[in-house]
């Protein structure tokens, strides 16, 4: 069998092949966004004898990370040389992206193939908040959250029109983390743990989604330009719109002085792993309503 004879290996590839034949590039990209990709690894890595290495190829002045839409496609493209793989989604790839200058080659050498620049990979893997709502309108506006230093609480609670700046995160993406120390470590904000080992968490539903920008960028100007981004931050910033944590897929957003809406809440996550609501912002009264501690 040759690359030109490449048959679809299943329903997903049937849809992708049809979209490719019809020249529907946007549909192809939307399908790839949801795909599980096969990444070639060595037999030793598959057996756990060595860490998996990225399979790459050089071309057109760029290094390309190799991925395939099925094991069958990988076998055909490699002439049978690639016999083992690990599976990852595009978002999982973005979380551990090895180099912002690298692109993604999907099914290289086959009839149905794609070369994705790093900026395209970032935007497919981690859409903006506005795009997320367009992709899944039934999901509604998400809750976001931001860890707050104990020293900053008095100023926040005294504000009649509270505003926040900096990074906030998609609350759903961290809902499985119930331990303050683990959450602080994953978000690289260990300094926000209180003396008792708890965390203060501000949560709200955004108003004006375009103000919550996905931070595409890099640790220097070269990295920022590679993904056509707008942010330059010091490491461990990864620039793909995700918290720098390979084991956790956590979307982050950068905001500048956004106003908190009615119903914003401050919660305390205790060292025991329990949450207690401590305050709620009342937009009509323009003040915070404190929630008393139970004995």
The token duo for 267 is: 């919660």
Please calculate the CA angle 156-161-165 and round it to the nearest 5 degrees: 60
Domain that residue 103 falls in: 3-125
Query: Is residue 264 a part of any domain in this protein?
Result: yes
Question: Looking at residue 117, what DSSP letter applies?
Answer: -
Looking at 104, 125, 146, the residue that finishes a domain is 125
> Can you give the pLDDT at residue 1?
56
Same domain, 162 and 282: yes
Per-residue pLDDT of the chain in tens (295 residues, 90 and over written 9) = 555 667 888 999 999 999 999 999 999 999 999 999 999 999 999 999 999 999 999 998 899 999 999 999 999 999 999 999 999 999 999 998 999 999 999 999 999 999 999 999 999 999 999 999 998 888 899 999 999 999 999 999 999 999 999 999 999 999 999 999 999 999 999 999 999 999 999 999 999 999 999 999 999 999 999 999 999 999 989 899 999 888 899 999 999 999 999 999 999 999 999 999 999 999 999 999 999 765 4
Beta-sheet strands, E only, within the chain: 36-41, 56-59, 62-67, 84-89, 103-106, 114-116, 144-148, 163-170, 199-204, 217-218, 231-232, 252-259, 265-269, 275-282, 287-290
DSSP H helices in the chain = 11-21, 25-33, 43-46, 71-77, 90-95, 118-125, 129-135, 153-158, 180-186, 221-226
- Could you tell me if 104 and 139 lie in one domain? no
68 shares its domain with 200: no
Same domain for 100 and 135, yes or no, is: no
d(CA 145, CA 134): 21
Q: Say whether both 19 and 86 belong to one domain.
A: yes
Q: Are 105 and 67 in contact (CB under 8 A)?
A: yes
According to the model, what pLDDT value does residue 7 have? 85
Same-domain check for residues 176 and 101? no
The number of domains in the chain is 2
Give the pLDDT confidence of 243-278 residue by residue, as tens digits.
988 889 999 999 999 999 999 999 999 999 999 999
The structure tokens 């900053």 sit at: 152
Confirm whether pTM is higher than 0.75. yes
Pair 9, 108 in one domain: yes
180 within some domain = yes
User: Is residue 171 situated within a structural domain?
Assistant: yes
Residue 244 within a domain: no
Largest distance between two CA atoms of the chain: 73
Whether 269 is in a domain gets the answer yes
| Structural domain contains residue 234 | no
Same domain? 33 vs 88: yes
* Shared-domain flag, residues 110 and 135: no
Nearest Cα to Cα of residue 200 among 255, 249, 152: 152
* pLDDT in the model for residue 5: 67
Which of the 8 DSSP states describes residue 238?
A: -
Residue 171, token pair as written in the block: 């609350």
pLDDT at 2: 59
Instruction: Answer yes or no: do 152 and 284 share one domain.
Output: yes
Contact 218, 232 (CB under 8 A): yes
Distances (CA, A) of 74 to 44, 111, 113, 120, 189: 18, 13, 12, 22, 40
Of 125, 147, 162, which residue sits at a domain end? 125
What is the pLDDT, as a whole number, of residue 3?
58
Distance CA 153, CA 109 (A): 57
Q: Is residue 49 located within the same domain as residue 151?
A: no
What per-residue confidence (pLDDT) applies to 295?
A: 42
Residue 116 lies in a domain: yes
Written as six digits, the tokens of 54 are 């990225």
End-of-domain residue from the set 75, 109, 125? 125
């Amino acid at each position: 069998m040759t690359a030109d004879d490449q048959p679809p290996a299943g329903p997903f590839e049937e849809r992708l092949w049809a979209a490719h034949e019809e020249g529907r590039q946007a549909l192809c990209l939307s399908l790839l966004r949801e795909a599980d990709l096969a990444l070639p690894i060595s037999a030793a890595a598959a057996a756990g004898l060595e860490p998996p290495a990225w399979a790459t190829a050089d071309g057109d002045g760029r290094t390309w990370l190799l991925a395939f839409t099925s094991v069958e496609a990988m076998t055909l493209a490699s002439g049978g040389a690639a016999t083992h793989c690990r599976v990852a989604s595009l978002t999982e790839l973005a979380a551990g992206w090895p180099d912002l200058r690298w692109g993604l080659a999907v099914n290289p050498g086959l009839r149905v193939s794609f070369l994705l620049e790093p900026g395209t990979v970032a935007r497919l893997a981690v859409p903006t908040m506005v795009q997320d709502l367009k992709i899944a309108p039934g999901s509604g506006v998400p809750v976001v959250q931001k860890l707050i230093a104990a020293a900053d609480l008095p100023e926040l609670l005294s504000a009649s029109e509270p505003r926040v700046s900096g990074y906030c995160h998609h609350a759903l993406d961290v809902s499985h983390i119930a331990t303050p120390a683990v959450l602080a470590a994953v978000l690289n904000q260990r300094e926000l743990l209180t003396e008792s080992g708890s965390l203060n968490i501000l949560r709200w539903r955004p108003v004006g989604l375009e103000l919550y920008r996905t931070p595409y960028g890099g640790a220097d100007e070269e990295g920022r330009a590679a993904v056509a981004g707008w942010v330059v931050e010091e490491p461990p910033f990864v620039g793909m719109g995700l918290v720098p944590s390979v084991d956790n897929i956590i979307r982050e957003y950068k905001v500048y002085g956004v106003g908190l809406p009615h119903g914003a809440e401050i919660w305390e996550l205790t060292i025991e792993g329990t949450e207690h609501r401590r305050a709620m912002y009342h937009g009509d009264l323009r003040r915070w309503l404190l929630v008393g501690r139970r004995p």
